[in-house]
Chains A and B, each alone.
Chain A
Amino acid sequence: MAGSTPASATAETQALGRPAAPASLWADAWRRFKHHRLAYWSLWALGLLVLAVLLGPLVYKVGINDVDFKARLAPPSWQHPMGTDDLGRDLLARVLYGGRISLAVGMASMVVAIAVGVTIGAIAGMSRGWVDAFLMWITDLFLSMPQLPMLLVLIFFFRDGLKSLVGPEVGIFVLIVLVIGGFRWMPAARVVRAQFFSLREKEFVEAARALGASTQRQMVRHILPNSLGPVIVAATIDVAAAIILESTLSFLGLGFPPDIPTWGRLLFDAKDYLDIAMHWSLFPGLAIFITVLSISFVGDGLRDALDPRRVL
């Protein structure tokens, strides 16, 4: 970086000392990622979790709605590894099912957020003047809005409408995904726009332009891949945040319909039985915690791996 002397002289001389790496950028990134112990282990943990949630219900064939009053509020046992709720329903089955929903919501919201964010960021980055200013004003506007209250308000107003349109489960899924994604696109937009601004004047873009490539196409083709790194990091954060948001909404009673056992909903039901059935709150809560924690560590590892300036 021009203008900043590193505190040690290694930076310069190291450049001379290291042989040119023939391996690809991805291999280098992977190596840096593995350096981050917690991120590496979290990736495995996450993989296991996803596998459990996807394949679990196929292996563990206990119904999520099998009521059994005799086994109400039972603590964990061989028969019910996570115990049962107030209707005797097996919690492990419900937690596994809830996991699918939480992960689905997380991924889908992330896709929405990134798609919107990258598009807006690219448009802002490529245009000048009032289009850019307007889009930035919109970004700042969304950043200023109190997220949870707006989510709640939107769900409140549109829940019934969507329910009548596409059915309660799909309706609420679409609503939650759109609404969470709709409030998380801003960081990606900013990052992409910044990339465009910094690279716009660079020589290789000029060269492409000289070769006759149209402005839009050449910009997208050359600049977008450069912003991949920070966008990936932002995407992982989005998944984690979406999972937390969905469980918060369910916990407040404003998420999925009551019969769908998302992790947040399980906690909503469990909170009144805190003293007599501690296991009921503990397992879904731990599930959320471990999932989000792993995703956060993976995101941190990705940040280390993909940011070339980082001194490890």
Chain B
Amino acid sequence: MALLEIKGLKTHFKTDDGWLHAVDGVDISIDRGETVGVVGESGCGKSVTAKTVMKLIDMPPGKIVAGQVLWKGRDLVPLPPEAMQKIRAKEISIIFQEPMTSLNPVYTVGEQIAESLRLHEGLSRREAMDRAVEMLKLVRIPTPERRVRDYPHQFSGGMRQRVMIAIALACKPQLVIADEPTTALDVTIQAQILDLLQRLKDEMGMAVMLITHAMGVVAEVAQRVVVMYAGKVVEEAPVKALFAHPRHPYTQGLIRSIPRIDLDAQHKVRLEAIPGTVPKLIEPAEGCRFAARCKHARAECRQATPPLREVAPGHRVACILDL
């Protein structure tokens, strides 16, 4: 049984112009100890998917219209808030994108780490603070005994993200959702943070759902990749298979648009961009959502939304063509 199984999830938002189909029928499953990368461009619904798992979506205007989120076999969607609160941070935790604003400025980082510990493990103030120091050590923050009493504004962006990781891992959850954890950081810091996440994962054995728009990151860190586009999953495969033989035109476009500065570039290949823009997600029409930008598009593509079909073991694609 998979640790997390998202089945047919649909999260819609009510707007003045109609219902926005941010997540429109998404299936993702994650096994124990697995790192799954979820990629896609801005607005494709990956963050909303992640927040829906944690039930952190504002319920008006948002609404989970259909689908299940099975955590160890138990559906989280109908769960009342009190039950959900027990799962958050203890079993599933999340790391957000913006370290500069994700920490409360008026409490010390120690207090913020200790908070989850005191809530979920019933530790005393003293015990929780000691554990907070350990967590800071774990995420490689120097002089943790002193730093534990410092405020967020006294840390740099990269350090704050480490603190966020510390908070997320404090109660040793079984799944960590990392929502674009390095997007807001400098490139060199990005590498450090990803490295840290990888190492912690090896040490603690948790599963990771890594959300990003950078294909390069996913190639390094993930074991399986899920590609999302306009609220739907368009391709899903083990990482090597995805990069070796991407089947969906969108995935192909994504991989081809990664700038290469290695030897292959000596051939001076034109950097390929995917023409067009993401379609409007308000009351979208039937048909493949990528059709407007796809150079292989045919009449059938616009008639019905292609379902995910298995083209190789573990490799599924939402396209009627064989590319």
Residues of A within 8 A of B (CB): 3-5, 7-10, 12-14, 16-18
Contact = CB atoms under 8 A, between A and B. Distances in A.
Contacts of A13: 20, 22, 43, 281
Contacts of A5: 47, 96-98, 101
B48 interface: yes
Contacts of B322: none
Contacts of A16: 43, 277-278, 280-281
Task: Please provide the 7 A-B residue pairs with the shortest distance between their CB atoms, ordered closest to farther.
Answer: A17-B280, A17-B282, A9-B48, A10-B13, A13-B43, A7-B58, A8-B58
A117 to B, nearest CB: 32
B100 interface: yes
Contacts of B48: 9
Which residue among A4, A5, A14, A17 has the maximum number of chain B CB atoms within 10 Å of its CB? A17
Contacts of B98: 3-5
A285 to B, nearest CB: 41
A4 B98 CA distance: 7
Contacts of A9: 13, 22, 43, 45, 47-48
Contact of B100 (A3, A7, A18): A3
B163 to A, nearest CB: 17
Contact of A17 (B17, B42, B56): B17
B57 interface: yes
A186 B57 CA distance: 41
Nearest to A6: B58
A16 B282 CA distance: 9
Interface of B: 13, 15, 17, 20, 22, 42-43, 45, 47-48, 56-58, 61-62, 96-98, 100-101, 184, 277-278, 280-282
A19 to B, nearest CB: 9
Given A16-B278, A17-B20, A17-B281, A10 B45 contact: no
Contacts of A17: 15, 17, 20, 280-282
Contacts of B280: 16-17
A5 B57 CA distance: 12
A8 B13 CA distance: 8
A10 B97 CA distance: 17
Contacts of A3: 98, 100-101, 184
A13 B278 CA distance: 9
B177 to A, nearest CB: 14
Nearest to A15: B43
27 contacts: A3-B98, A3-B184, A4-B101, A5-B97, A7-B57, A8-B57, A8-B61, A8-B62, A9-B22, A9-B45, A9-B48, A10-B20, A10-B22, A10-B61, A12-B43, A13-B20, A13-B281, A14-B15, A14-B17, A14-B20, A16-B277, A16-B278, A16-B280, A16-B281, A17-B15, A17-B281, A17-B282
B178 to A, nearest CB: 14
A4 B99 CA distance: 10
A17 B15 CA distance: 10
Contacts of B100: 3
A17 to B, nearest CB: 4
A50 to B, nearest CB: 33
